[in-house]
Amino acid sequence: MLTAAIASGDPRSSARLLASLEQSGLVGSIKQWLMPMEKLPDSSEQLPDVVFLDLSHDNEAFFTFGAHLRRIHPATRIIACSATVPPSPQLLLEAMRGGVQDFLPKPIEPEALKGILAQVLQENEGKDRPSFNKLVVIMGSKGGVGSTTVTVNLGVKLATHAKKRTLVLDFARPLGNVHLLLDLQPHFGLRDAVENLDRLDSHFFAGLTTRHKTGLEILGGASQPEEWQSIATPPLERVVNVAQSSFDIVLLDMGSQFSPEWSTILRTARMILVVAEANVPSLWALERRLMALTGFGIEPDRARVVINRWHRNDEEALKSIQKEIRRPIFACLPNDYRKASLAVNLGTPLMENHNNLLNDRYREIASQLAGIDVRPFAKKSGLGDLFSFTPKR
């Protein structure tokens, strides 16, 4: 992850650049410097990996500033953003003297920006992974197996038990119903994010999310089936990146949809939880889905299987599926129709209750994802073989 700063004399232009940087998914922290600066940074200050000079009329002040930065911190990459396209030879010469190494035309093209940032990251020799590593995707092996129930209850446990700033992105198709399970009425949602990509930064994004009383936040999904017709997948990638810049953990309910277009988002996920039931159609679909994920270049270690509505009699079937898919089942969530449907119909997540096995399981998974102590419980419940927490990434 890179650190960056934007030096600009125009707050609106600076905000646009900020949004583009957040959307790139490659920048962790971003400073905004107002030009001309009253006091120039000195060598004792920690300077960012990349500085963007948002050129305007008075280029001289920017280049003096750039040259100063290069002098005190030669490792900083200086990139000029200019609306003069192509830059004149005179401008290029002045920029070079001002320590500028790259030129980006304005308005900034996301792919060009990402290309330069990726290059800087590579040059900085993988000090960090080029992603936020906060995204957990939840998908159903087929429809109706519990992808949304798992997303919501896990989200609540991450927010309450693990005390993580947690966001649910409702990307299920054709309709998103995360809000129903939490009895929320979002005023804004996915569509607003996608329709305002040019100003989508963490500040704007905060205005689109809806908070549940547990602290869990959601970005509401599609409320009309035809909404998805106007939503392409690449902009979703940018929504995911901005979301990760504001939260500790981002859960993405993608329902049971599956297409190669999603591979970019799936590849950046820290973990993909594939929810299935222990019946033939669901396990059949699970096996194929896992194979397809491997085909997208996702290591088996990152695609974990969650068996929902588990019942003791399922153990034999699950033992054989573990052999088929050549990986252990990550978690089993017991079948509890009464509690699950009560929770859904009341719009309340599963209650904290010591006798509630389902609730315990969700807490265990949340602890695992959040990297906090997992209490040994398997023996007591008899699910020992079917609940394998392998070391976290």
Ligand X SMILES: Nc1ncnc2c1ncn2[C@@H]1O[C@H](COP(=O)(O)OP(=O)(O)OP(=O)(O)O)[C@@H](O)[C@H]1O
Contacts with Mg ion by CB under 5 A lie at: 147-148, 172, 255
Question: Which alpha helices (H) appear in the chain, and where do they start and end?
Answer: 11-24, 59-72, 89-97, 110-123, 147-160, 178-181, 190-195, 202-206, 233-246, 263-268, 280-295, 315-325, 337-346, 357-370, 378-381
Q: Which stretch binds ligand X (CB under 6 A): 49-57, 298-306, 314-322, 328-336?
A: 328-336
Contact 231, 116 (CB under 8 A): no
Our CB check for Mg ion shows the closer of 98 and 255 to be 255
Map tokens 């790259």 to a residue: 102
**One residue of 309, 367, 368, 387 binding ligand X per CB under 6 A:** 309
Residue 59 makes contact with ligand X by CB under 6 A:
no
Pairwise CA distance, residues 272 & 269, whole Å: 7
Please state, in angstroms and rounded to a whole number, the distance separating the CA atoms of residues 297 and 115: 21
| CB nearer ligand X, residue 81 or residue 251 | 251
Q: Report the partner that residue 244 touches, choosing among ligand X, Mg ion, none (CB closer than 5 to 8 A by kind).
A: none
Candidates 2, 5, 145, 154; binder of ligand X (CB under 6 A) is 145
Report which residue's Cβ sits closest to Mg ion: 148
Instruction: Name the minimum Å distance from CB 190 to ligand X.
Output: 15
| Closest to ligand X by CB, 19 or 150 | 150
List Cβ neighbours of 241 (8 Å cut-off, separation of 6 or more): 22, 23, 24, 25, 132
Stretch that binds ligand X, among 14-22, 121-129, 137-145, 227-235 (CB under 6 A): 137-145
Residue 282 interacts with ligand X (CB under 6 A): yes or no: no
Residue identified by tokens 């909404």 is 227
- Residue 180 touches which of Mg ion, ligand X, none (Cβ within 5-8 Å per kind): none
Amino acid at 50: V
- The answer for residues whose C-beta is within 8 angstroms of residue 379's C-beta and 6 or more apart is none
Q: Which residues of 142-169 are buried (b: 16+ CB within 10 A; e: fewer)?
A: beebbbbbbbbbbbbbbbbbbebebbbb
> Which CB, 130 or 347, lies closer to ligand X?
347
Among positions 115, 144, 281, 376, the unique one binding ligand X when judged by CB under 6 A? 144
* Residue 59 binds: one of Mg ion, ligand X, none (C-beta under 5 to 8 A by kind): none
> Does 256 participate in binding ligand X (rule CB under 6 A)?
yes
Site for ligand X in 169-188 (CB under 6 A): 172
Please, what's the b/e burial string for 17-45 (b: 16 or more CB within 10 A of its CB; e: otherwise)? bbbbbbbbbbbeebebbebeeeeebeeee
Does 149 sit near ligand X (CB under 6 A)? yes
Question: Which of ligand X, Mg ion, none does 143 bind, CB closer than 5 to 8 A by kind?
Answer: ligand X
- Using CB under 6 A as the binding rule, whether residue 140 contacts ligand X is answered as yes
Q: Which residues bind to ligand X, rule: CB under 6 A?
A: 140, 143-149, 172, 255-256, 308-309, 333, 335-337, 340-341, 344, 358
